[in-house]
Amino acid sequence: MEREGSEAVSMQALAAEAGVSVGLIYRYFGSKDDILLAVITQVLDAFATQVPAAIEAAGDDPVRRVAAAFGAYCRVIDEHRHAAVLTYRESKSLDADGRARIKRLEVETSQPLRAVVSEGIDAGVLVSDDPDLVAYNLLLLAHAWALKHWYFEQTKNLDSYISAQLALALRAVVAPAHQQEYADLLGG
């Protein structure tokens, strides 16, 4: 599906690529859309478990919790880079129910990041009047690792990408009075 697009790929071709019989695929999936939906939800399920765990492990500081959440999103994207790209290319081929499910899951899996951004704003360490915009900008930066990996891999590994993008984003929203406190995250 990634190479040819979902419309051009048959269930037989998917079975051959996976090294299994087409009957085995049909045992678990009724259609190519079901397979595509499973691939996409696998990424969203990884967000749903790994991001809250990273936030919890980061302690109580809201900026460090934002940093941990962003790092976790990037790591999930890295682990599922091809699935993330496939999602952008092929989710339009899902039926209306499949697209609605993906949208609902995306909103749910972004909630922990939006919550920690809101915590930071409420604590006065982050400055923004739109926590959703801050959270979704961070999510887009995480997805950019998959979408533009071909370019970024020339000069960055995953950790340096996370550090650089996080510093860029946080410099825009960490309150000036708190920037020294987070110099390690702001790149300075």
**Residue 89 pLDDT class (50, 70, 90 cuts):** confident
Q: Find, among 87, 141, 95, 139, the residue nearest to 113 by Cα.
A: 139
Total H helices, total E strands in the chain: 10, 0
Residue 85, pLDDT > 90, answer: no
Where does the chain hold its CATH 1.10.357.10 domain(s)?
31-186
The CATH superfamily label for domain 31-186 reads Tetracycline Repressor, domain 2 (1.10.357.10)
**Residue 38 pLDDT class (50, 70, 90 cuts):** confident
Q: Is the dihedral of CA 158, 143, 1, 40 positive or negative?
A: positive
Residue 135, pLDDT > 70, answer: yes
Helix (H) or strand (E) holding 10: none
Residue 88: predicted pLDDT: 78
Range among 2-11, 48-57, 90-99, 102-111 rated most confident:
48-57
